Chains A and B, each alone.
Chain A
Amino acid sequence: MFFQQLITGLSIGGVYALIATGYSLVYSLLDFSNWAHGEVAMLGAYVAFMAISALNLPFLAAVVLGIAGAALISLFNERLAYRRIRHNKSPNMFLMIAAMGLSTTYQNAATLVFGAKFKQYPNVLPISSVSIGNLRIGVLDLVSLIITAVVLVVLIIVINKTKFGLNVRAIACNSQTADLLGIKVDKCIATVFLLAGALAGCAGILLGMKYNVYPTMGNVGVKAFIASVLGGLGSVPGAIVGALLLGVIETLASGYLSSGLRDLISFTLLIVILLVRPAGLMGVDVQEKA
């Protein structure tokens, strides 16, 4: 029972991690909470759904389209709002307010266009579970876990081993000097938004497969926020660790206590971390949390 719960927890935590890493990357570069990030995941899930139901595309093609759509929407947010605010040298608070505006707009637009009803992907994976020893693990959980593990390992390699990753880390350290030394800061930031959007799209589709697709599913962004705070805002490895921990804690809480207590426990965790260890588990120094 415990190990089954653990696998389920890691699987949902992995989906949180896909959102939390993108959120954390943006936070590390621009020092603001991108509250529209969850909505990017939601829109990715809808793009994939529409590709199946309206265009009759095969599932895998729809997934690709959904991920690409989410990446482009994320880039669109940067181009439409965030870049202008940065270039105007406005306070970071403006970025966060713009993100909130985008978030609300997307949620309501989705309700208007797609309706508030829950949509379901066709069943491409067997709903059955596989037995390993005396463990019974859902096929979807297993697939989700494998996909997120691969994506996150690739992400870590990109951040730590590539020239692009070096540029991103340099901008996160000191964007003015990065600019002065010849790093194309705007281009790098745009690429990060594309990347974060693609990760969120991937997460949105996985969530849609596990549960449903609906206009407020982007609220999962709050979980990504909690995960990032837990791991240390702005740290990518921190976001992954925080997300996996949160997934496991939530699953164990629903399994052993009550599923109604799940969110209560997540938010209590957030408050405790903010009070006791505001730098998070992987401690990046913090001046401002928003």
Chain B
Amino acid sequence: MLKIEGLKAAYGGIKALKKVDMNVNEGEIVAVLGANGAGKSTLLKCISSVMKPAEGTITFLDKPLPTKPFEVVGAGLVHVPEGRQIFAKLTVTENLRVGHVLRTDTAEIKKDYERVFEYFPRLKERENQYGGLLSGGEQQMLAVARGIMARPKLMMLDEPSLGLAPIIVDQIFEIIQEINRYGTSIMLVEQNAMKALSVCDRAYILNVGEVELSGTREEVLANESLSKAYLGD
């Protein structure tokens, strides 16, 4: 459903992506792994149209990707950004309302509220609290929940495990699989390679702006040089 061909992007003169090819099929969880500065976030910025690539094409559902962020969201592609980025001075409910800003199907929106509160009962308890008062884990839950409210066809998650306790990470990853079973394709960008490889179907390894390795989960896990470099054994 998402097809990236020959993508190049740069900040000023510094090349962040040097020709990246990648695709995500309907129903998959695809992990994008790599160290700091590998170009993972740049890739996501290009896909959500907040950054213009220098070269290359991105197609989504067989159409060229729109060029404005709200059109991308409207097309069914939502980006859950790194570091949560929840609205600190809006309540939990208001944060969720921003999530479905472009939707008009009231009855379905109501169902998604129920779904989100089923995934994250904590958010229901804290409905009227300001986002800024939530704990780190709760903020990450809210960021994912806010993404769900857009009812995307493809959800891109940028480092959902960042700075969270292992038990919270497990919870979040369980929900990510749950969202996937509901029919949403997932693109999971992670530094926590082991964790990401435990849930994904396929993975890409980015290294300084290039795809170094790609394949099914099993293929990637079987690659020895990778295990040495990223998985720490």
Q: Chain A residues in contact with chain B, CB under 8 A?
A: 163, 166-167, 169-170, 172-174, 176-184
Contact = CB atoms under 8 A, between A and B. Distances in A.
A177 B150 contact: no
Interface stretch (B77-85, B199-207, B225-233): B77-85
A236 to B, nearest CB: 12
B81 A170 contact: no
B15 interface: no
A18 B139 CA distance: 36
Contacts of B70: 179, 182-184
Interface of B: 48, 50, 69-70, 73-74, 78-79, 81, 85-90, 94, 97-99, 101-102, 146, 150
A174 B98 CA distance: 12
Given A166-B97, A181-B78, 15 more contacts: A166-B90, A166-B98, A167-B101, A170-B94, A174-B88, A176-B50, A179-B70, A180-B50, A180-B81, A180-B85, A181-B101, A181-B146, A182-B69, A182-B102, A182-B150
Instruction: Specify the main secondary structure of chain A where it touches its partner.
Output: helix
A184 B102 CA distance: 9
Nearest to B85: A177
Contacts of A180: 48, 50, 69, 73, 79, 81, 85
Given A166-B94, A166-B97, A184-B70, A179 B50 contact: yes
Nearest to A179: B69
A178 B85 CA distance: 10
Contact of B90 (A170, A176, A183): A170
A159 to B, nearest CB: 12
B69 A173 contact: no
Given A169-B90, A170-B90, A173-B87, A178 B50 contact: no
B87 A170 contact: yes
A173 B150 contact: no
Contacts of A173: 87-90
A176 B69 CA distance: 10
Contacts of A176: 50, 85
A88 to B, nearest CB: 14
Q: Which 3 A-B pairs have the closest CB atoms?
A: A182-B73, A173-B87, A177-B85
A219 to B, nearest CB: 32
Contacts of B78: 181-182
11 contacts: A170-B87, A172-B89, A173-B89, A178-B98, A179-B70, A180-B69, A181-B78, A182-B73, A182-B101, A183-B98, A184-B70
Contacts of B90: 166, 169-170, 173
Given A166-B94, A167-B98, A169-B90, A182 B74 contact: yes
A181 B73 contact: yes
Contacts of A174: 85, 87-88
Nearest to B72: A182
Contact of A169 (B50, B74, B89, B150): B89
Contacts of B88: 173-174
Contacts of A163: 97, 101
Contacts of A179: 50, 69-70
B85 A183 contact: no
B50 A181 contact: no
A177 B73 CA distance: 12
Contacts of A167: 98, 101
